[in-house]
Structure 1
Amino acid sequence: MTGLPSAKMSTRRVRQSGNCPRAATIVATAILSIAIAGFSTPTAGASPLTEFYDAPVAAVDTATLGEVVRSLPVNSPKGFGLGFDIERILYRSTDTHDQPMVVSGYTMTPTAPWVGPGPRPVIAYAPGTSGMADRCAGSAVLGTVGSSPAILPLLLAGYRVVATDYQGLGTPGGHTYLNRVASGRALLDAARTADVEPTTPVVLFGYSEGGFASASAAELASTYAPELNVRGAYVGAPPADPTLNIDTLDNTRLGSAALFTVDGMINAYPERAAGIRDLFDSDGIAALDAAQNWCTTDPAATATVRTTELTRDGRPLTEQLSNPVLAEITETNTVGRIAPAMPVYLSHAVEDDTVPVEQSRTLLGRWRDLGADVTYREYDLPAIPVEGANHLPGSLAAYDDVMPWIAGLVRAGVELAGTTR
């Protein structure tokens, strides 16, 4: 399908030596460069940005999917000398109730001409977890929290990057954290904002929460955005099944993500909010309300969370997921029920202590059973004796594999387009 050797049933564990110096250098450069951009622009609380995100958008009901309804070029000379044009955007998407919604994001485009084959490819980028508050949005800080690691290598390869903030990050309303439909649609509509030609290669790209969104978009693409030429999807360390992740987070300093998960359900399904909140006691409700205003960099978001101390019946959150109040929501937001119509590169670090590797192994099995074209890699990296520190290395290790995989997709797409003219 891609012009590459068939990887439909490929499974290989890759043992990485040392600290992946090449990938680490790339990511460090990315973080530094985009952090410069973030620090050189107004903060999310400044008046121009507050108006950009919060002012009502009258045209959203009549806008087409992916239509940019507001934009704000970043006040920088050609991307601060980096050679990128940067723009914040608001665009139209569709929520879990099939209603129009406004989503924020940003686009970065290299100023140099594209020298590769065919049109300049578009990377639809889904960021990792940054929190629940508007100030956590990747576009508000230009990626200094959740978006940095992937962006610069993609830009240096000449690709245009269009990133989503997801529903409710930046824009009014609550963030629908780990909602399969809302995040998948938001990512596909971010790709639509690029106003691409029919032959323009589009690649979905995400790690962690972004991996979940990329996987969701890959499943939805053929029905929600059939006109896009989605050549493939990189899915890194996705928390694809809520029932497999809560235990890992509970009773740890990573437990804020468990609270984010419940808050995401409340925000996505307001008609069920009362029933969900009723599963928690007064301390639990207070914790859920507080977490709505956290970013992952906040000290409060790193406190140990024990969900047995927050639920009304004293059972942990993982057991609450089978409660009729949550069971249908949990099932609806599990990825792996639909075969992506394009090749997928799925990867995970074996020692990941935030999103367990069983997530990807289970997703792989489900997609394989459905006949999906999946290349799978596990990275056997040295364990770091710091809680939560074994999640990011999996994203670093994947660069050396994913970047040439994307380049192969682009070449194959151009060759295919040439033979069908």
Structure 2
Amino acid sequence: MTTMFTGTRRGRVAALVGAALLTTLTTTAVGTSSAAAAPPPPQSDPFYQPPSGYESTAPGTVLRSRSVSIAAFGALPQKIQAWQLLYRTTDQKDNPQATVTTVLLPWGARPSATRPLLSYQVAEDSAAPQCAISYQLRQGAGNDNIVAQAEILLINAAVQQGWAVSVPDYEGPRSAYVAGRQAGHATLDGIRAAKNFAPLGLGPQTNIGLWGYSGGALASGWAAELQPGYAPELNIKGVAEGGLPVSPKNVLLGANRGPFAGIAMSGIAGLSHAYPELAEFMDTYLTTEGKAAFAKARTQCNHANAGEFAFKDLFKYFSIPDPLSRPVPQQVLAEVTMGQHNPTAPVFVYHSVNDELVPSADTDAVVKKYCAGGSRVTYQRDILSEHIALVITGAPDALNWLKDRLGGQPVSNGCSTKTVVSSIATPKALATFGIVIVNNLLALLGKPVGPADMI
């Protein structure tokens, strides 16, 4: 017992120290982000507009590309090779759509057909176009979506492995937050686009991984479910999903009137962008105050909505009691609930037992469903974390698991579930965490991102 407590305390101290060091640099970055000229946001940037006739191209077709400069928190330039690809994908209603992914290579790396590819899905969690990660990663973008911007630290950790990385705008041009099929399609087609992009030099049998937490896990999880039918040619070796929001309805009910009510507000707004019938329902039944509130939520990113709508009762914005009991919301929420298909790629799921935003019972249930259907799932339940803490403390195990999969190490058939005191309280996780922290501090200070033999 003493050993377990000591390891757990050491892990928590390491997480706090690392977070403090990174906060010092990122606070400086936030204070200076306005110094660089801001690029035009997606709604004003012609690059995001697809060419005429793109609808007839195959999903994953690269429609346009450009090289870009990446900056952490809009201010700290990252020495990393980066391009943006506009590509054809498919929306929630199975209609053609175009969106953007940012693809990355280690500094100094040459194209390679044997290089693994990781698709990293950030938690955009917003219903406004300027919140897209393709914009938020650029120099001078400001800090409207600083929560998503912070995930550059995990993106850099992936590039540091020598991998190519795709970071898709999986919500698409309409910022359809919570639209699962849309997110899954855009993630898979972003992988196709990366494979089709000659400067990366990826091969037809490139080993592919996916990773995301919270909103990013929603996209990763839907991609894993849809891949056998939508993109069976992709050689996906593993999918890591943390803080998995299986049931948006249950997240909404739990968040309402609490500190995360603003995230639920963004989710409803995002779904109204994907479902015209929901937008019409809201236009019919929202009060005047409710219409003004949702109009504002559609213009703001995650942390602004989280602050403005915290502890609000969102149902009071409607003129009818219990709006979720009506047929249109019921149908929409049923369609965006996970567990409709079984992943064939191996899956690593990590979730806090005490998650205050995303119910762990829903994740328990979908894992059981996957396993009953023959999926290969490694499920790790964490006791000492909560939703936000596990982003940090769960990342080392997710990264190590992906390294094994992309390195060619297979997983056993079947499923395994374990409950741990703290994911970070193992020597391997702590060592990985320390390496990630050091490499990110160096990257934030201007050191090239990538393995030493490539820079």
Q: TM-score, normalised by structure 2?
A: 0.75
Whether 1:373 and 2:376 are equivalent positions in the alignment is yes
Q: 1:267-313: CA deviations, max 9, x gaps?
A: 11114421244343222222222211111232654543212321222
1:187–1:213 Cα contact (<8 Å) kept: yes
Distance 2:91 2:188 in 1: 13
2:128–2:301 Cα contact (<8 Å) kept: yes
Q: 1:226-282: CA deviations, max 9, x gaps?
A: 111011111111211123211221102321222222222211111442124434322
Tell which deviates more after alignment, 221-230 or 129-138.
129-138
Distance 1:306 1:58 in 2: 44
Residue in structure 2 matched with residue 61 of structure 1 by the alignment: 55
Deviation for aligned residue 1:360: 1.7
Kindly provide the amino acid, as one letter, of the partner of residue 370 in structure 2: W
Tell which deviates more after alignment, 94-103 or 16-25.
16-25
Please state whether the residue corresponding to 2:194 is helix, strand or coil: coil
Residue in structure 2 matched with residue 145 of structure 1 by the alignment: 147
Residue in structure 2 matched with residue 241 of structure 1 by the alignment: 247
Deviation for aligned residue 1:27: 10
Kindly provide the amino acid, as one letter, of the partner of residue 184 in structure 2: G
Whether 1:21 and 2:37 are equivalent positions in the alignment is no
Stretches of structure 2 lacking an aligned partner (at least 5 in a row): 1-6, 139-145, 196-201, 412-455
Residue in structure 2 matched with residue 11 of structure 1 by the alignment: none
Kindly provide the amino acid, as one letter, of the partner of residue 402 in structure 2: I
Whether 1:86 and 2:82 are equivalent positions in the alignment is yes
Kindly provide the amino acid, as one letter, of the partner of residue 304 in structure 1: F
Residue in structure 2 matched with residue 160 of structure 1 by the alignment: 164
Q: 1:371-409: CA deviations, max 9, x gaps?
A: 211101112225xxxxxxx42211212222112211211
Distance 2:365 2:35 in 1: 43
Please state whether the residue corresponding to 1:193 is helix, strand or coil: helix
Distance 1:100 1:124 in 2: 21
Residue in structure 1 matched with residue 435 of structure 2 by the alignment: none
Please state whether the residue corresponding to 1:330 is helix, strand or coil: helix
Residue in structure 1 matched with residue 328 of structure 2 by the alignment: 325
Deviation for aligned residue 1:210: 0.7
**Which residue, 331, 335, 342 being the options, matches 2:345?**
342
**Where is the helix percentage greater, Structure 1 or Structure 2?**
2
Kindly provide the amino acid, as one letter, of the partner of residue 298 in structure 1: A
Q: 1:195-215: CA deviations, max 9, x gaps?
A: 242221111111111101101
Distance 1:274 1:370 in 2: 37
Residue in structure 1 matched with residue 314 of structure 2 by the alignment: 307
Q: 1:184-205: CA deviations, max 9, x gaps?
A: 0000011111124222111111
Residue in structure 2 matched with residue 98 of structure 1 by the alignment: 94
Alignment of 1:162-241 (within 5 A): 162-168=166-172, 171=173, 174-195=174-195, 196-241=202-247
Residue in structure 2 matched with residue 401 of structure 1 by the alignment: 397
Distance 1:41 1:222 in 2: 44
Please state whether the residue corresponding to 2:227 is helix, strand or coil: helix
Distance 1:40 1:234 in 2: 36
Distance 2:333 2:252 in 1: 12
1:244–1:358 Cα contact (<8 Å) kept: no
Distance 1:276 1:366 in 2: 33
Distance 1:115 1:404 in 2: 24
Q: 1:322-346: CA deviations, max 9, x gaps?
A: 4211122111111112110011000
Whether 1:412 and 2:422 are equivalent positions in the alignment is no
Distance 1:335 1:126 in 2: 17
Please state whether the residue corresponding to 2:167 is helix, strand or coil: strand
- For the aligned residue pairs, the C-alpha RMSD in angstroms reads 3.3
Please state whether the residue corresponding to 2:176 is helix, strand or coil: coil
Distance 1:56 1:90, change over 3 A: closer
Distance 1:263 1:252 in 2: 18
Whether 1:252 and 2:258 are equivalent positions in the alignment is yes
1:337–1:366 Cα contact (<8 Å) kept: no
Deviation for aligned residue 1:158: 1.2
Distance 1:256 1:81, change over 3 A: closer
1:136–1:295 Cα contact (<8 Å) kept: yes
Please state whether the residue corresponding to 2:378 is helix, strand or coil: strand
Distance 1:82 1:43, change over 3 A: closer
Kindly provide the amino acid, as one letter, of the partner of residue 310 in structure 1: Y
Distance 1:301 1:70 in 2: 37
Distance 2:33 2:97 in 1: 26
Kindly provide the amino acid, as one letter, of the partner of residue 373 in structure 2: L
Distance 1:284 1:19 in 2: 42
**Which residue, 294, 297, 300 being the options, matches 1:294?**
300
Distance 1:266 1:24, change over 3 A: farther
Distance 1:16 1:64, change over 3 A: farther
2:177–2:271 Cα contact (<8 Å) kept: yes
2:346–2:377 Cα contact (<8 Å) kept: yes
2:277–2:328 Cα contact (<8 Å) kept: no
Distance 1:404 1:303, change over 3 A: closer
Distance 1:126 1:269 in 2: 22
Q: TM-score, normalised by structure 1?
A: 0.81
